[in-house]
Structure 1
Amino acid sequence: MKLKYIFALFILVVIAQLFVPMQMIFGQEAVLNNGKAYKFRTQPVDPSDPYRGKYITLRYDINAAISIDSTWERKQDIYVYFEEDSLGFAKLTTVSKSPLVSTKDYVKTQVNWYNKYDRNVTFNLPFDRFYMEESKAKPAEDAFRIAQRDTLPNNTYALVYLKDGEAVLKDVLINEISIADYVEQK
């Protein structure tokens, strides 16, 4: 009798271990399939995580907004709303402490700092790591940095899908070429 309970508990643990990762995968796939793609201008750095591997840390031009509300607190939830500009890049439209009734796409993140003198609230976008194969991460960072110095405007960006407050970083592009393919071409 006790063996039946142990076996049933074992089966429940196995199902739970399969369910959680599958739910995460299906959630991201839903954003990629049904979300809206935005291009975010970036600036790279190349750190390493011993558990998850090599990645490019992406810093975005969009990292602050002017706000007359001076009650922002560090690590407070913030909702950042976007629309596309005339060149197809993401453009910040508004920030809010709570979700707005709006058709605009948004992401939920946290406040880094509020500067009372400039009336500026700063934040980091939640899609700031692009993971790559170990051998390609350093060459990718170098290629990205060189492309950033290029005189061509808007030649480096991250392609991010947004849907219902969720964001998935699909790719990083240099001159309209995926960074992984760009590194292989060099």
Structure 2
Amino acid sequence: MKLKIILLIALFAIQLAIPGYMIFEQNQILTEGTAYKFKTRPIDPYDPFRGRYVTLAFEANQEVIPVVDGADIESEQWVYALLGVDEEGYAVLRGLTDTKPDSGQDYLYLETYYRSYDGGYHVKLPFNRYYASEKSAPKIESAVWRRQRDEVENVYAVIRVLNGKGSIEELMVNDMPIHEYIAHTSE
């Protein structure tokens, strides 16, 4: 009987520890990670279990990322994407490698999808959903679509990166957090 109670308590502890660790890890990324601005183009779907969110289609997903000299990479392989910043201050994936970078070099751990004719690879960034309320998600989508009609200059996501993992900190429109932008344009 005591063994069953101990096993039951252990099972409950494990069930609480897993989501607790996930919350801790996301908080650590958001508080200690380096911020990068990723250019994006969102669309607005609905998830019946998690609610409204804006799916972010990052420009980096459309680019061919070169392979670092000496790296042995294949399609559908988990690799390290070295991060840098372009002259406009936006994040760029500088290269893919199969060797974990030295400390001091920010990187994302992600999967390659297919090889390009020039030897580089297409990748998909692992963070692509910005969750919003039922009321604000359509407004967010509308704000982003105005960008495509040249009414909005730039839309990007601020992503915090730490130890190969990234987490969305904020969605920005014209250098304003999305909720401030919506409030400003609704007046």
- What 5-or-longer segments of structure 1 have no aligned partner? none
Q: Percent of aligned positions with the same letter in both sequences?
A: 32
Q: Which residue of 2 aligns with 1:94?
A: 95
| Alpha-carbon distance between aligned partners in 2 of 1:16 and 1:7, rounded to the nearest angstrom | 14
The count of aligned residue pairs is 182
| Alpha-carbon distance between aligned partners in 2 of 1:70 and 1:93, rounded to the nearest angstrom | 14
Alpha-carbon RMSD across the aligned residues, in angstroms, is 2.2
CA-CA distance at 1:149 after TM superposition: 3.3
Compared CA separation, residues 17 and 70, structure 1 to 2 (3 A) = closer
Q: Which residue of 1 aligns with 2:118?
A: 118
Compared CA separation, residues 70 and 165, structure 1 to 2 (3 A) = closer
Tell me which of 34, 48, 51 is aligned to 2:32.
34
> 1:46–1:141: 8 Å Cα contact kept in structure 2?
yes
> 1:70–1:114: 8 Å Cα contact kept in structure 2?
no
What does residue range 2-151 of structure 1 map to in structure 2 within 5 Å? 2=1, 4-63=2-61, 64-67=64-67, 72-101=73-102, 103-115=104-116, 117-150=117-150
Compared CA separation, residues 56 and 69, structure 1 to 2 (3 A) = farther
- What 5-or-longer segments of structure 2 have no aligned partner? none
| Alpha-carbon distance between aligned partners in 1 of 2:148 and 2:162, rounded to the nearest angstrom | 28
Compared CA separation, residues 9 and 102, structure 1 to 2 (3 A) = closer
> 2:146–2:152: 8 Å Cα contact kept in structure 1?
no
Q: Which residue of 2 aligns with 1:177?
A: 176
> 2:38–2:91: 8 Å Cα contact kept in structure 1?
yes
> 2:72–2:97: 8 Å Cα contact kept in structure 1?
no
> 2:75–2:121: 8 Å Cα contact kept in structure 1?
no
CA-CA distance at 1:103 after TM superposition: 2.3
Compared CA separation, residues 164 and 53, structure 1 to 2 (3 A) = same
| Alpha-carbon distance between aligned partners in 2 of 1:76 and 1:163, rounded to the nearest angstrom | 20
CA-CA distance at 1:8 after TM superposition: 2.0
Compared CA separation, residues 96 and 151, structure 1 to 2 (3 A) = farther
> 1:70–1:119: 8 Å Cα contact kept in structure 2?
no
Report the TM-score when normalising by structure 1: 0.86
